[in-house]
């Protein structure tokens, strides 16, 4: 089952359908990064993207470190 999640960026509404199990997690994350009830400019979108990409980078670095330790 999917759930529709919406966000207003640059004065335009965007909706995405996501798996219901993922939706709650996504809604919490989006609430930290965006104004859920109002408009978000493109700068806010870019900042959120960079933050999340940095988190992914950090996680990958940690996983690589753990893998190297295990391989020893």
Domain coordinates in residue numbering, the chain: 2-71
In this predicted model, what pLDDT tens digit does every residue of 2-30 receive, in sequence order? Answer: 999 999 999 999 999 999 999 999 999 99
pTM: 0.79
* Residue 72, pLDDT score: 84
What does the DSSP assignment read for 6-57? EEEETTEEEEEEEEHHHHHHHHHHHHHHS-TTSEE-HHHHHHHHHHHHHHHH
Cα dist from 28 to 5, 23, 36, whole Å:
11, 9, 10
Query: Which contiguous run of DSSP H or E holds residue 5?
Result: strand 2-9
């Amino acid at each position: 089952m999917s759930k529709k999640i919406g966000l207003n960026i640059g004065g335009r509404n965007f909706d995405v359908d996501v798996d219901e199990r993922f939706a709650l997690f996504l809604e919490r994350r989006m609430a930290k990064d965006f104004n859920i009830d109002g408009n978000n400019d493109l700068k806010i979108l870019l900042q959120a993207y960079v933050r999340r990409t940095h988190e992914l980078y950090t996680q990958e670095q940690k996983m690589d470190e753990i893998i190297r330790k295990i391989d020893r």
